Amino acid sequence: MASAHARLERIGISVPELYLPGAGIDYRKWAVVACDQYSSEREYWEELDREVDGAPSTLRLIFPECYLEDGDKDARIAAIQKTMWDYLEKGILVQKGQGFMLVERTTPFEKKPRLGLVVAVDLERYQYGKDSKSLIRPTEGTIVERLPPRMAIRRGAPLELPHIMILIDDPARTVIEPLYQKRQYFERVYDFDLLKNSGHVRGWFINEEPAFEQIAEALERLGDPEAFRAKYGEDEVLLFAVGDGNHSLATAKAIWEETKASYAGRPGGEAMLASHPARYALVELVNLYDEGLPFHPIHRVLFNIEAQDFLRTPAEAGAEIQYVSDAAQAFAMVDATGAGEAASGVHRFAFVTENRAGVITFREPKARLAVATIQEYIDAYRKGHPDVGIDYIHGTASTEALGRRKGNLGLYLPPVDKASFFSVVVHDGVMPRKTFSMGEAPEKRFYIEARKIVRE
């Protein structure tokens, strides 16, 4: 019988060699939130920098997206790569060993903790194109223009740090939850409060063969072609759906393709590529049905826009525009869209400007997903008004705060039905970009574990 490692490899999983902070490193200052959060709130990252106060931190190993348009991009990337090497050489990051990390994350927003399992996924089993049918698939459209700066970092980096979260469709809770029930038998590696009142995280290191076998068996059942065909009526199995970090995983894939090309024609090249660390990407698996995993829409804020001019377009197409007293009322009206209305296809959105708020209602939308309905109008308007900028916002408060700034328009989207998540991806392919968010910004994955992506 094949080993658990071999069985896992067949379904796109590798047991990674993990690196963690060395002795004496303050985990609380080490871990920071995903780089794509607070992208229009530079003050968050400036305050975080002051709080870290020069201590070893993943803040020095990532490129917060709020700085992407600054003029010092090349210098910042060079500093990130140098710091990675420094942390390795000075023992700030040390080798933990080959294994998975079981993660328990509590947040201020959810009653139950979110559970995850840090693994490495095989990039040969992942494609990020619109019509991908790979075992590991994107769930949203990839904006290829966002890849180059990420690729520039990874291309010269010795390490990767994951904020990628990949979903598994496991209603019977067979993969991660049984490990959590036995967590007292695994080594607890970290247990600490996160910065900026973002909750608490604990991690247990799993490096035992029986646990690997249990994980392999459970994932094999989820990926069984006959069971998948019976459930979804499709032959191409979707085992892993990218929930967060789509562009980071696409970056890893793009660099892997570059790496393969660089080995083309070299003696022994195929053998070296088969075990090359760049073939894999470190991610956290999360069960779609985890009780601590919320699904939220990702809202939009448009900049340098005449709000009334924008609203005129959907109104002329038959949408109802209703003004209300304040943003809170508008948001509540969207959140309270009745099941009957949702079932009949009604799509409702709230908007907020410097001094007005209201609701946009589409009674007979063409698109199946609400986000597709509003995004069509956003894209069309921006095509005719190239000076209008856009940002994708996680969280109600940030949407209102940014929408109220002069010259801005905040668009608040309705809740997402996560029960239909895999079905939509299987039958319709990728969703419109920035369709959903797994939690508010402080609930996103914090960088903790690392993995080498260069050959020794």
Containing structural domain, residue 322: 296-415
pLDDT for the residue 437: 80
pTM: 0.84
In a domain, 277, yes or no: yes
pLDDT for the residue 342: 56
231 to each of 118, 170, 224, 252, 274, how far by Cα in Å? 27, 12, 11, 31, 33
Asked if residue 323 and residue 186 are part of one domain, the reply reads no
Rounded to the nearest 10 degrees, what angle do helices 396-403 and 327-335 cross at?
140
Asked if residue 253 and residue 205 are part of one domain, the reply reads yes
pLDDT for the residue 339: 46
In a domain, 313, yes or no: yes
User: What tokens were used for 388?
Assistant: 């209008």
Asked if residue 267 and residue 173 are part of one domain, the reply reads yes
> Do the strands 280-287 and 436-437 form a parallel or antiparallel pair, or are they unpaired?
unpaired
Under 8 Å between Cβ of 290 and 165? no
In a domain, 190, yes or no: yes
- Which residue in this structure is represented by tokens 């693994």? 119
Asked if residue 306 and residue 286 are part of one domain, the reply reads no
In a domain, 430, yes or no: no
Asked if residue 118 and residue 260 are part of one domain, the reply reads yes
In a domain, 262, yes or no: yes
Asked if residue 151 and residue 82 are part of one domain, the reply reads yes
With 0-12 CB in 10 A as exposed, 13-18 as middle and 19+ as buried, what is 435? buried
Q: 137 — alpha (psi -120 to 50), left (phi > 0) or beta?
A: beta
What is the spatial distance between Cα 421 and Cα 427, in angstroms, rounded to a whole number?
10
Asked if residue 305 and residue 262 are part of one domain, the reply reads no
pLDDT for the residue 343: 54
Asked if residue 342 and residue 253 are part of one domain, the reply reads no
Asked if residue 56 and residue 169 are part of one domain, the reply reads yes
Asked if residue 263 and residue 126 are part of one domain, the reply reads yes
State CA 351 to chain mean position distance.
Answer: 25
pLDDT for the residue 199: 97
What is the spatial distance between Cα 360 and Cα 312, in angstroms, rounded to a whole number?
11
What is the spatial distance between Cα 207 and Cα 186, in angstroms, rounded to a whole number?
9
Asked if residue 258 and residue 236 are part of one domain, the reply reads yes
Asked if residue 69 and residue 189 are part of one domain, the reply reads yes
In a domain, 434, yes or no: no
pLDDT for the residue 146: 82
In a domain, 427, yes or no: no
Q: CB-based contacts of 387: which residues, under 8 Å, 6+ apart?
A: 304
Per-residue pLDDT tens, the chain, 456 aa: give them.
689 999 999 999 999 999 999 999 999 999 999 999 998 899 999 999 999 999 999 999 999 999 988 999 999 999 999 999 999 999 999 999 999 999 999 999 999 999 999 999 999 999 997 788 999 999 987 888 888 889 999 999 999 999 999 999 999 999 999 999 999 999 999 999 999 999 999 999 999 999 999 999 999 999 999 999 999 999 999 999 999 999 999 999 999 999 999 998 888 888 889 889 999 999 999 999 999 999 888 999 999 999 999 999 999 999 999 999 999 999 999 998 754 455 567 999 999 999 999 999 999 888 878 888 999 999 999 999 999 999 998 788 999 999 999 999 999 999 877 777 898 889 888 888 788 888 888 999 999 999 999 987
In a domain, 174, yes or no: yes
- HSE toward the beta carbon, residue 117, CA cutoff 13 A: 32
How many domains are there within the chain?
A: 2
